[in-house]
Amino acid sequence: MKMPSPSSRLTASTDGEIILQYKKLDIWADAVNLAIPWGSAVLIAAFVYLTIGELAGKVTFAQIGVAFLGNLTVSQSLAYIFGGGGILYGMRERRLRHKKTESMAAYSQELEKRWDLNRTSSGLSPSGTTGKEDKR
Amino acid sequence: MTEIGVVLNSALALSMIWLLIYFGYRQYRLDKFRHELFELRNELFLYAVDGGISFKNSAYRMLRDRINAQIRFAHFITLTRAVLFANMHRRQPLPRAEQIAASWSAARQGLDDDARKKMDSITERVTRTVTYHLVTGAAPLAVLVGVMGILVKVAKLFHRTEESTTLRVAKELNIELLEEQAIAAQQQERELCEIVV
């Protein structure tokens, strides 16, 4: 087992405290970045829940379903199919790109290592996505 | 009853937009950003293959590590983080930041003119790419930078300056700090690996 060199150790406890302060900010930044998407998802769910909740005991689910479908026009339905189909198509294209990246990455890595034995990697997963240990 | 139909229709449409933004567009932006950095890393590699710089040169290694760190921690480059860190850095500089900047400066000095120009060009484009990714990822910041861009262009009419708007924004937002944090995290992990091995 190799011991860390003196220069690589934290020079003083204050350095550790500063890094800790930065880590705290990191957690705050993560919290904000998670709160925006998931907060908006909760808002959409609450919007539906409150509307349906207002009708509790007054109408049945079947009536709600009929109201929803009855409100759909042909052009609206086509727009949903178009939008949903577009999302699905995009997701499949993305999956295909990741598979392609995975198959090509090993090849380019091998070629680069022939030139540079100490080649360093980006640390991404073979398919080019964020590594498991870096996900939060 | 028509109202409930309208509400459900709107909720369905909003959910689809939500899916598109958070599972589609955001992932695409991240992949595009990483791809641009990979292209810069490849350019650096090919420059070394052509004999412009040695693979063992510390400047080459540092720049490659720097690009690798940006690629790896690309998902952490956000407006919230940039603002919080820049604010903190003014009061309490990150311990390793100065050390990283000094080592880079020393490594750069040891290069011949051609190699130094190439390293500077790649470094500048890395900073531009990171800045562009950060700015376009946050609507309020994009608007602010748009206004700033116009002001800089007007200022350029009166004062001749070579500095681009993107680099100016990078300086204001302290983009280097985000980059140095990523490098420091990568270095710490490597040191930890060395201790374990």
Q: So where are chain B's domains?
A: 29-196
What's the rounded mean pLDDT across residues A26-30? Answer: 87
Helix and strand numbers (H, E) in chain A are 3, 0
Question: With contact defined as beta carbons under 8 Å apart, do B191 and A4 qualify?
Answer: yes
Instruction: Check B45 against A25: CB less than 8 A apart.
Output: no
Please state, in angstroms and rounded to a whole number, the distance separating the CA atoms of residues B186 and B70. 10
Question: What is residue B161's DSSP assignment?
Answer: -
Could you give the percent of chain A with pLDDT greater than 90?
Answer: 26
Please state, in angstroms and rounded to a whole number, the distance separating the CA atoms of residues A22 and B75. 17
Question: With contact defined as beta carbons under 8 Å apart, do A67 and B4 qualify?
Answer: yes
User: Looking at the partner chain, which of B16, B27, B78 has a beta carbon nearest the beta carbon of A29?
Assistant: B78
The first and second tokens of residue B52, run together, are: 């412009």
Q: How far is CA B175 from CA A133, B118, B169, B179, in A?
A: 24, 21, 9, 6
Band (B72; pLDDT cuts 50, 70, 90): very high
Which one is predicted more confidently, B11 or B165? B11
Could you give the percent of chain B with pLDDT greater than 70?
Answer: 89
Of A28-32, A48-52, B44-48, the least confident: A48-52
B4 interfaces chain A, CB cutoff of 8 Å: yes
pLDDT at B196: 60
Highest mean pLDDT out of A67-71, B2-6, B86-90, B117-121 = B117-121
Round the average pLDDT of chain A to a whole number and report it. 83
Instruction: Check A4 against B7: CB less than 8 A apart.
Output: no
Interface test with A, best of B12, B17, B56, B188 (most A CBs within 10 A): B12
Which chain A residue's Cα is nearest to B196? A1
pLDDT at B121: 96
pLDDT at B149: 74
Instruction: Check B88 against A25: CB less than 8 A apart.
Output: yes
ipTM for the assembly = 0.77
pLDDT digit string, tens, across residues B8-32: 888 888 998 998 988 889 999 999 9
What's the rounded mean pLDDT across residues A31-40? Answer: 89
User: Looking at the partner chain, which of B55, B68, B75 has a beta carbon nearest the beta carbon of A122?
Assistant: B68
Q: Is the Cα dihedral B148, B152, B154, B158 positive or negative?
A: positive
A30 vs chain B: nearest CA distance in angstroms?
A: 8
Question: What is residue A48's DSSP assignment?
Answer: H
pLDDT at A10: 46
Q: Does position B101 have pLDDT exceeding 50, yes or no?
A: yes
Band (A57; pLDDT cuts 50, 70, 90): confident
What's the rounded mean pLDDT across residues B124-153? Answer: 81
Q: How far is CA B45 from CA A92, B54, B130, in A?
A: 32, 10, 20
Instruction: Check A18 against B92: CB less than 8 A apart.
Output: yes
Please state, in angstroms and rounded to a whole number, the distance separating the CA atoms of residues B138 and A123. 26
B25 interfaces chain A, CB cutoff of 8 Å: no
